[in-house]
Structure 1
Amino acid sequence: MTHHRADDAVAQFRGVRARGAVQCADLRATPEVLRDGGWWAVVADFDGPARAWRFADVERSAPDALEPPDHPGAPWSGPDPGSWRTSMDRRRYTDAVRRTREAIREGDVYQANICRVLSAPLGRADAEPDAAALAARLAVGNPAPYGGMVHVPAGSGHPPVWVVSASPELSLGVADGYVESGPIKGTAPTADLLRPKDRAENVMITDLVRNDLQRVCAPGSVEVVDLLRTEAHPGLVHLVSRVRGRLTEDDPARRWAGLLAAAHPPGSVSGAPKSSALRLIAELEPVARGPYCGAVGWIDADSGQAELAVGIRTFWWEPPADAAAPGTLRFGTGAGITWGSDPEEEWAETELKAARLLALASSGTDPDAGAAPSVSA
């Protein structure tokens, strides 16, 4: 395997670019590392650790810049468009939707987000794909308010990570002693195709997020500051709400221990009640989500600011177990299921969310041509 230096590690998000990983920690297990300050890139798994890497060299630019800096290297070279596979085919996914509706009818849950993971062979253990090249391609072809990437190569002396995100959804934003969250529920090709089910689901999950934040915010300070706003993104629209509250804890270790315990995994990609939805997800989904539906972003422990996106519209790469085999590029897609869900419509929503991103990540495809890469079971 090629050995990399720690300064080969790079992270970039809106308004910030960092190089040189100097420390890695699981913020769920050791949040006290934040008391030492520093800028940390965060990749928190949906159902696992919340790992963070402290970077030595941090450059800041205009905070409203959506695109990462120009990528000076070769353009992105992705997998063959016909090589994608899905963890759940159409029949299995629609059966999972029916099972979720049964659980709702039985009173076990009110809503649950059911997801599948797409994968394609790419790269090798000694030749990791160029994460910055994919980030640059997504920034042009699918600009997203919380897009970014974190790449700490294997052999750098720190636990490796390879994640590129075009997330449109804010999980936790912290500044000036306040925390905000922007749950997305409701997706359609155009605004006129949004359904009553989408609006009801958004209100339900916004209330769940409000309850989560009340666990770490001053009494009476949590409020819904925006409800059911329609946001346009490449190829689709979302319904987005916004919840804000004043944090009660100043100590960074206790603050983030509390936030991760209260609000992770995000309510918009788990369900309500959250504990029951997580049990149903574990029963129905055949593979772990990893960073998909987790959190991707950064924490500035010196300024007390942070921006963690929900890890949707997110690619991650895993090296092969056998050095002679190819690695695997993964991408997740899902839909929120309520009693008003139609199984075929929910399957179509997962297809809609994946189509443009898969076209951008695959070789020889044009996302504006309207045809998505084929995905097999």
Structure 2
Amino acid sequence: MTKGVLRHPLGDGIRAETAFHVLCGQSTDVFWLDGGPTSYLGAGEPFVPADGVLGALRGELSAPPRPSLALVGWLGYELLAETVGTMPGMGGRTSPHPDAAFLRVDRLVAVHSDGRAELVAAGERWEGELEQWRLRTIQLLEAGVTGDGADRADAGSADAELAAAVERATAPPPDPLREAHLPLEIIWRDTDAEYLAKIDACQSAIRAGDAYVLNLTTEITARGVIDPVAVYRELRQESPSEYGALLRIGGVSLLSASPEVFLEVGADGRVSTSPVKGTRARFPDPAADAREAEALADDPKERAENTMIVDLMRNDLTRVCVPGSVTVPSFLQVETHPHVHQLVSRVEGMLREGLGAVDAVEATFPAGSMTGTPKRSAIEILDLLEDRARGLYAGAFGFFAADGRAELAMTIRSIVVDSDGDSDSDTDSDSSYNGRSRATIGVGGGITALSVPSEELAETKLKAAALVRALRATEQAAPTAP
């Protein structure tokens, strides 16, 4: 475990977007946990366990190879093979991406919403390589913010190197989408008719007593010239979130404007989850907007769906929490975001002595809001209907800190960008935006016996709209069969 944490204040006037652009740019193996009162960004060493993800995480957190602040990364939906287990009716689908991918982080830049920033590092004192990193980072940030790096190019080789790095980092990134004037083609995995038929199948399973609620999802794919950093800049402007992130590990980028917490774990063992079930569009007119929020709060279908997921998460947390400690301090509250109103509840408890964040994940993953209830039956039904691996979508992302804390958000309202398997170009390099890439967006919603199929379809498209706009797809192509 880390014995010490060093902090170096950087003063005011630093923006998270500027800091990421200057320090990380198009580099591989970087992170930007964005939104809320503080954004954290930097680089790290990849940690991608191939087998036994939960055991590998426990081992890494209990005995890191060197002083550490946190593991930052994601858990893919197919990790359910470890947490829930495979069932006879499931197709044994595997994701094209690892079920878990993290960065070992021993230093980072923290940028607070008021403009203050600081360097944070695991260690006892600023010395050796850590001191070199501190000085270099300060130079780059000062030059990136003030733009004076190039003025020192003649002062010596070290400053010439600094000036060149700042010039590369602070120059506006290429914008191949605008230059080519070619909007990406958006392809839905399911046509409207196919998705409506799957909703009908969900309701048939519910009437048969096989489930109470099923979170049916589909997928959108786009192929073309995609710069993940540029897309994330668009996304955070289009749909700001307290749980946003840009994570790049290897050749895969996760861009998220998630509105939903999966798990929060405190150093004292307090654990909570905040399921979101129920979504309505915002309206420009304040009176109409307020009526829509009130309608959401009173909707019997949305309230029933949210209640069922709350009961599921209470049951999951009870498996790892002190008896009697699991409570629901917030129930069926409307939260308002830039484009939608959502119905949110909060469930919390106290982990039993000797248990930690990974144990909480094992008991609750995947989140009930992404499966339905009963969880095992819902997973099996959805696997058959969706006929695909969900991959990173419907999993979780965030951090496991060395001091026992963890914060994981749901991987929803997210775009995954990787190399285009149908292209001959290689996009795993630092200049990945120069090649062809594939972007995938998972989207869906909870189906109950009271669901109106046409409304569920409309809600799915509403959830996808901001993500499609961030990809600069000027219009959403009509859904077509794969």
Which residue of structure 2 aligns with residue 121 of structure 1? Answer: 223
Distance in 2, matches of 1:153 and 1:64, equals: 32
**Structure 1 residues 236 and 18: CA distance shift in structure 2, 3 A:** closer
| Runs (5+) with no aligned partner, structure 2 | 1-23, 80-98, 116-140, 146-168, 282-291, 426-435
Residue 38 (structure 1) shift: 3.3
Q: Distance in 1 between matches of 2:389 and 2:212?
A: 22
Distance in 1 between residues matched to 2:477 and 2:48, nearest whole Å: 38
Question: What's 2:280 paired with?
Answer: 188
Q: 1:57 aligns with which of 71, 96, 107?
A: 107
What is the CA distance between 1:249 and its match in structure 2? Answer: 4.3
* Matched-pair contact (CA < 8 Å) for 1:41–1:298: yes
Kindly indicate whether residue 34 of structure 2 is the aligned counterpart of residue 34 of structure 1. no
What amino acid is aligned across from residue 276 of structure 1 in structure 2? S
Question: How big is the shift at 1:20?
Answer: 2.8
In the TM superposition, what whole-angstrom CA distance separates every residue of 1:2-52 from its partner, at most 9, and x where no partner exists? xx9997421011324333322403342412111124311121111132332
Q: In structure 2, what is the equivalent of residue 346 of structure 1?
A: 456
Post-superposition offset of 1:240: 0.4
- Give the residue type in structure 1 aligned to 2:110: R
TM-score normalized with structure 2 length: 0.67
Q: Aligned residue for 2:406?
A: 306
Asked whether the equivalents of residues 85 and 119 of structure 1 are also in contact (C-alpha less than 8 Å), the reply is yes
Q: How many residues align?
A: 349
Deviations 1:247-298 (A, max 9, x none): 1244xxx524422221111100101000000001110003221111110111
Residue-by-residue CA offset, 1:137-186 (whole Å, 9 max, x unaligned): 222221111111101244xxxxxx31000000000011132111110001
In the alignment, the residues of structure 1 paired with residue 467 and residue 209 of structure 2 have an alpha-carbon distance, to the nearest angstrom, of 36
Does residue 1:218 correspond to 2:345, yes or no? no
Cα distance, 1:81 vs. partner? 4.4
TM-score, structure 1 normalization? 0.85
In structure 2, what is the equivalent of residue 369 of structure 1?
Answer: none
**Largest Rg, 1 or 2:** 2
Q: CA-atom RMSD, angstroms?
A: 2.6
Superposition deviation, residue 57 in structure 1: 2.7
Aligned equivalent of 1:22, options 23, 32, 45: 45
Q: Secondary structure at the match of 1:339?
A: coil
User: In structure 2, what is the equivalent of residue 267 of structure 1?
Assistant: 368
Of structures 1 and 2, the one with the larger relative CO (CA 8 A, separation 6+) is 1
Tell me the distance in 2 between the aligned counterparts of 1:82 and 1:192.
Answer: 37
Deviations 1:45-82 (A, max 9, x none): 111323322124312233799xxx99954276659546
- Letter paired with 2:305: E
By how many angstroms is 1:116 displaced? 0.5
1:356–1:22 CA distance, 2 compared to 1 (3 A): closer
Match of 2:234 in 1: 137
**Which residue in the other structure is 1:12 paired with?**
32
In structure 2, how many angstroms separate the alpha carbons of the residues matched to 1:295 and 1:307? 10
Stretches (4+) displaced over 3 A: 4-8, 69-73, 75-82
Residue 134 of structure 1 and its aligned partner are, at CA, apart by 2.4
Separation of aligned partners in 1, 2:102 and 2:409? 14
- Give the CA deviation at 1:114: 0.3
Q: Could you say if the C-alpha distance between residues 343 and 110 of structure 1 is closer, same or farther in structure 2, counting changes exceeding 3 Å? A: same
Residue identity in the other structure for 1:149: L
Give the partner amino acid of 1:171.
Answer: F
The aligned runs of 1:1-377 (5 Å cut-off) are 8-14=28-34, 15-26=38-49, 27-31=53-57, 32-35=59-62, 36=64, 37-48=68-79, 49-62=99-112, 72=170, 73-74=172-173, 80-81=182-183, 83-123=185-225, 129-154=226-251, 161-175=252-266, 176-189=268-281, 190-194=292-296, 195-250=299-354, 255-301=356-402, 303-321=403-421, 323-324=423-424, 326-362=436-472, 365=474, 373-377=476-480
Q: How big is each residue's C-alpha offset from its partner over 1:195-224, in whole Å with a ceiling of 9 and x where there is no partner?
A: 210011111111111111111111111110
Distance 1:6 1:354 in 2: 26
- Report which of the two has the higher share of helix: 2
Aligned-partner Cα distance in 1 for 2:295–2:25: 50
Deviates more, 1:161-170 or 1:259-268: 259-268
